[in-house]
Chains A and B, each alone.
Chain A
Amino acid sequence: MLEQIVSRYNYWIYIILILIGFYGMMAKNNLLKKLIGMNIFQWALILYYVSIGAKKGGTVPILSEEAGSPFEHLKAIQCVNPLPHVLMLTAIVVGVATTGIALALLIIIYRRYGTLEEDEIIEELRR
């Protein structure tokens, strides 16, 4: 049991991070804290993707036929899988954009209601 946990520690770390993020989003009353929770949630996913592409002792996947180049006789098994990492470049952009939109909305909310506490905003809206 313990061995399984240790040998797959990357998955456990991502699960713990995702749960922290989820808790932040659901249980916190302050909208900015919810946003921080959302960010932890997204970055946990990115870590997960990056970890599945990594390999012990793997090198950069560059194909070269030039004689004398350090990548000359490189085999696929020696390289890390670059695809998940490339996918995560897109996901990072997506994450930044989400944060940007959410922060912009928070600025509007703060200007209109003068607070970022969820219960106070709901009370204000009911009025």
Chain B
Amino acid sequence: MISHQFPVLIVVTPLILSFFVNVVGWWDKRYCVPIVFVALSVSLFSAIGALEAVIKHGGPIHYHLGNWQPPWGIEYVIDYLNTPILVAIAFISILVLIFSQRSIEKELPESKIPQFYTLFLLNVTGLLGITVTGDAFNLYVLLEIASFSAYAIIGIGERGADFSAFRYVIFGTIGACAYLLGVGYLYIVTGSLNMADLHHLLPKLYYSRAVLVGMAFFLVGVGIKMGIFPFHTWMPDAYTYAPSTVSALLAPLFTKVGAYVMIRLLFTIFEPSFSIKLYPVAEILGWIAAAGIVFACVMALAQSDLKRMFCYLIVGEMGYILIGIASANRLGLTGAILHIINDMFMMACLFTVAGAIMYKTGDRNIYRFRYLHRKMPITLGVFVVGALSVVGVPPMCGFFSKWYLILGTIEAKKWILLGVLLASSLVNAILFFRVIENAYLEPRGEHAFAHDGGHPSISLDEVPWSMLIPMLMIAAGIILLGIFSGVIIKHIIQFAVPASF
């Protein structure tokens, strides 16, 4: 039965085909995109199959690689928490792949195309693997696969990308090593690497200092990879100078997968009784999140580069997810998990729009966007959908996750976090209306008319359909996720929240 093999097919298909992309690319570059498309489609199909199997089975499904029994062998686990994230990763990466074709043609030399798609596929492999694995050390290996391809793929960007990629290598390695140290400390006290096994073994050892140190290393490592506030310094540079497709792939997916690992760590490896009651881990994360959101808002307001502004927005969005974790109740965590999925779509939307504007105008400075709505009306329409979703306007998905986060902070009586959430939404509104104002409103009055010679002759000049369709699908996804968020919560996410809440 092929359906039993879904958990492993999600990862193995793109991993094997990524080598073929490189080999076939030497021979003929035109076959690269179809191969990547096939690999990601198999992943998407398997992920949807896995989701269906989990809902039918009503609980986690374990897959033992090579039939080695855990805790000795590596196991892949699919459950309510990771299957929706797997589906979202596979879906968005397919859309970004379709989007990438024309954008990459313009931004990269032709000889680099096979290597680019190899790295693209390897990166998605790593991200899917991180999400599906149930083994702490296997997670490290897959994290490094995803990180290496990210370093290399960012390095091929414009001037400045090489230096920021090198800084990302340094920071990323510190993060990965900190994670590995955490695994080592837990291994010393338990002798196990399997997450479910650690979950059973650790409660007896919660007062051991080694466990606490291990936890601290874990938090630092995952925090660097997900780019939360004090560890975010690598992110704005790396994602700004990367090719537009690369930031459209990495920015929505990588940081959010980090957030997923954080939730796995706090509530699957450790129990809520450790990470909330015994030590105030969630409390500390909440304060870090609040500081991060304030910082991100201020920094985002100061940027004139569209992509860099979005990068600081991600730092803020990571703070939102941490706030959901810090509220430490069912509502907050529901909001956090929902926000991981929603934010993937919102950031994919914003970064593809930035890529489309780069493709047509070669410029990202928001003060030079004048008359853009005449030139690219559909692109800007998609941008407005994404912007309203980030601000939190009801039919879009961003509203619903933020709503749950706000309810969570109210229930936890964390008023400062509530205030930060609400205030940052207002700042987001200012941020986006600044862009919308520059792109939509035209200068009026005699002065402007005299300057432009009566009527500016700017004609419709939209990006090609292969870029428009993925953008429109992401925008549709944002609205549909919003409309059906009740269904998603009722059938999937409410079971993903640990039962002790």
Contact = CB atoms under 8 A, between A and B. Distances in A.
Contacts of A62: none
Nearest to A81: B191
Highest count of chain B CB atoms <10 Å: which of A22, A97, A113: A97
Contacts of A94: 141, 144, 176
Contacts of B369: none
Given A45-B180, A48-B184, A106 B173 contact: no
A3 to B, nearest CB: 19
Contact of B151 (A48, A90, A105): A105
A14 to B, nearest CB: 9
Given A48-B184, A49-B184, A101-B151, A90 B141 contact: yes
B174 A31 contact: no
Given A31-B166, A105-B166, A45 B181 contact: yes
Contacts of B440: none
B6 interface: no
Contacts of B162: 105, 108-109, 112
A61 interface: no
Given A45-B181, A125-B163, A102 B169 contact: yes
Most buried by B among A22, A84, A87, A105: A105
Interface in A7-59: 22, 25, 31, 34, 38, 41-42, 45, 48-49, 52
Interface stretch (B152-160, B198-206, B253-261, B314-322): B152-160
B172 to A, nearest CB: 8
- On chain A, which size bracket covers the interface? 20 to 34
B371 interface: no
B362 to A, nearest CB: 19
Size band of the B side of the interface? 20 to 34
A84 B162 CA distance: 35
A121 interface: yes
B64 to A, nearest CB: 17
Contacts of A97: 144, 148
Interface in B114-148: 137, 141, 144, 148
Contacts of A38: 169-170, 173
B475 to A, nearest CB: 35
Contacts of A45: 177, 180-181, 184
A125 B159 CA distance: 8
Nearest to A90: B141
Contacts of A42: 173, 177
B137 A101 contact: no
A80 interface: no
Contacts of B188: 52
B187 interface: yes
Given A52-B188, A91-B180, A102 B160 contact: no
A85 to B, nearest CB: 12
A81 to B, nearest CB: 8
Contacts of A106: 166
B165 interface: yes
A121 B180 contact: no
B169 A98 contact: yes
A105 B184 contact: no
Counting chain A CB atoms within 10 Å of each CB, the highest count among B166, B170, B176 belongs to B166
A36 B390 CA distance: 42
Interface in A93-127: 94, 97-98, 101-102, 104-106, 108-109, 112-113, 121-122, 125
A71 to B, nearest CB: 20
A14 B187 CA distance: 17
A20 to B, nearest CB: 14
Given A90-B141, A98-B148, A41 B166 contact: no
B173 A87 contact: no
B152 A101 contact: yes
B180 A25 contact: no
A102 to B, nearest CB: 5
Nearest to B165: A105
B174 A101 contact: no
A6 B144 CA distance: 35
Contacts of B152: 101, 104
Contacts of B169: 38, 98, 101-102, 105
A105 B137 CA distance: 27
Contact of A87 (B137, B163, B174): B137
Contacts of A101: 148, 151-152, 155, 169
Contact of B159 (A52, A104, A105, A112): A112
A94 B180 CA distance: 12
B148 A25 contact: no
B177 A109 contact: no
12 contacts: A25-B170, A41-B177, A45-B180, A52-B188, A87-B137, A94-B176, A97-B144, A98-B148, A105-B151, A106-B166, A112-B159, A112-B162
Interface of B: 137, 141, 144, 148, 151-152, 155, 159-160, 162-163, 165-166, 169-170, 173-174, 176-177, 180-181, 184, 187-188
Given A87-B137, A94-B144, A101-B148, 12 more contacts: A25-B174, A31-B166, A41-B174, A45-B184, A48-B184, A98-B148, A98-B173, A104-B155, A105-B155, A108-B162, A109-B166, A121-B163
The 6 closest A-B pairs by CB, nearest first: A108-B162, A105-B166, A94-B144, A102-B169, A109-B162, A101-B151
